[in-house]
Amino acid sequence: MRLSRYFLPILKENPREAEIVSHRLMLRAGMIRQQGQGSFTMLPLGKRVLDKVCRIIREEQDRAGALEILMPTIQSAELWKESGRYNDYGKEMLRIKDRQERDLLYGPTNEEMVTEIFRAYVKSYKDLPLNLYHIQWKFRDEVRPRFGVMRGREFLMKDAYSFDIDYEGARAAYNRMFVAYLRTFTRMGLKAIPMRADTGPIGGDLSHEFIILAETGESQVFCRKEFLDLAVPGETVDFGNDAEIAGIVKDWTTPYAATDEMHDEAAWDAIPEDERLSARGIEVGHIFHFGEKYSKPMGAKVQGPDGKEHFVSMGSYGIGPTRLIAAIIEASHDEAGIIWPESVAPFEVVIINMKAGDADCDAACERLYAAYQAAGVDVLYDDTDQRAGGKFATADLIGIPNQVIVGPRGAAAGEVELKRRATGARETTKLDDLLAFIGTAA
């Protein structure tokens, strides 16, 4: 993408309304625009990051055996009356009437709707296990939306729902999502620690939040330091092997870890002081096992191998992709701006033409730009007539992992400079060597 044809509305000033660094940097880097209370447009740069985040989420959901569907945002109140949650859910639910005065609502979550889909089609244990997920907009009418996309009213959510014949099956489904979440966050450069959590309005008896540590975290968390070194399973992990998956979950749930609300002072005091880690945390995922909470009132049952009907045992599994973007920035930035992990960077490389109009610079940049495109690399080419200092600042602010800097003196000598955003490390290289290297990646 040529920057001259792109829409990247960088803000020079720090926006006053932004209280936390991710909100500030997303506004400054031209990633988002606020459209109302807790409601944001993803501008082109933000949309690119969102796409990469969603792609990783999808790949790991698919790998764990979940199937993608897409449910509508607007739901009938009738469904929620069946489960009993229509009255339980307070003002956070956005209630709507259509032209025929029927009661609708903007879904804050989809347990009821997916249970309705399940009961309509699935009649036998032979069709289980089943896990259906979607990535769809949700609306929760928060009293105090804030921190940008970290706590919005309209936000994107990946929510998965598992259906099994009994507790044992449901627990295996829960474990698969647990491990999928570990992999998902790791691939985004995040260290997420699973912690026992309250189940809140979703309900149920077993729940984990995945928390990343960041100074601006919304809650205090407590865990053993050993979490920082625990291994995350690679992509060869066998989701068909319940015992293997349960073993990983055991490793990740045995050491002490708790959010403020679940904290046990006695257990904490028993941990040697130099093995304790107390910090602020940001919730990036939340998983629930709630058994028959929805299947029973809504009549979602299947015939078992015993010939009898069984209410299915369910769980649900949420990740907020829009919130994740903010969490990644909270965990990875410096004074100059965002530092994207390669896996979610809006562009992998930015070519900085220090002197657009200079024949050598233009020629070198055009060759590099064509080579990266041919190699299938997401490349941004700053071909604008801004001065070099401004270009460097923009590249750092928007956090592109790799910068290729082309100046007139270097270009004339057949050389360009490479800079790593994360470390600031720079090296000079021959243009031809770089072109050859890009070619091998194609």
Judged by CB under 8 A, does residue 73 bind a copy of itself? Answer: yes
Element (H, E) at 388: helix 388-398
CA distance 295 to 401: 47
Please choose, out of 93-101, 251-259, 307-315, 325-333, the segment that lies near a copy of itself by the rule CB under 8 A: 93-101
Show contacts with a copy of itself in window 290-319 (CB under 8 A): none
Lay out the site mask for a copy of itself across 146-185 (x = CB under 8 A, - = otherwise): -------xx-------------------------------
CA distance 50 to 153: 17
Cα→Cα distances 219→258, 260, 278, 280, 373, Å: 11, 7, 11, 6, 43
Judged by CB under 8 A, does residue 42 bind a copy of itself? Answer: yes
Interface with a copy of itself (CB under 8 A), residue total 52
The CA dihedral of 149, 390, 388, 46, to the nearest 10 degrees, is 10
CA distance 112 to 79: 6
Judged by CB under 8 A, does residue 50 bind a copy of itself? Answer: yes
Please choose, out of 74-82, 212-220, 244-252, 392-400, the segment that lies near a copy of itself by the rule CB under 8 A: 74-82
Judged by CB under 8 A, does residue 15 bind a copy of itself? Answer: no
Selected from 3, 94, 172, 179, the binder of a copy of itself by CB under 8 A is 94
Q: In Å, how far from its chain's centre is CA 221?
A: 20
CA distance 209 to 212: 10
Secondary structure (3-state) at 257: strand
- In the chain, the N- to C-terminal Cα span, in Å, equals 18
Judged by CB under 8 A, does residue 14 bind a copy of itself? Answer: no
Pick the closer one to a copy of itself by CB: 39 or 199. 39
Selected from 17, 19, 68, 251, the binder of a copy of itself by CB under 8 A is 68
Please choose, out of 96-104, 273-281, 294-302, 344-352, the segment that lies near a copy of itself by the rule CB under 8 A: 96-104
| Residues paired with 159 in a beta bridge | 134, 318
CA distance 359 to 302: 72
Judged by CB under 8 A, does residue 386 bind a copy of itself? Answer: no
CB atoms within 10 A of CB 259: 19
Please choose, out of 2-10, 199-207, 216-224, 331-339, the segment that lies near a copy of itself by the rule CB under 8 A: 2-10
Give me the least distance between CB of 249 and a copy of itself, in Å please. Answer: 22
Tokens of 289: 């096992």
Selected from 43, 57, 177, 345, the binder of a copy of itself by CB under 8 A is 43
Cα→Cα distances 141→23, 354, 437, Å: 20, 47, 51
Q: Which residues bind a copy of itself (CB under 8 A)?
A: 5-7, 9, 30, 33, 35-37, 39-44, 46-47, 50, 65, 67-76, 91-92, 94, 96, 98-99, 104, 106, 113, 116-117, 120-122, 127, 130, 132, 137, 139, 141, 143, 153-154
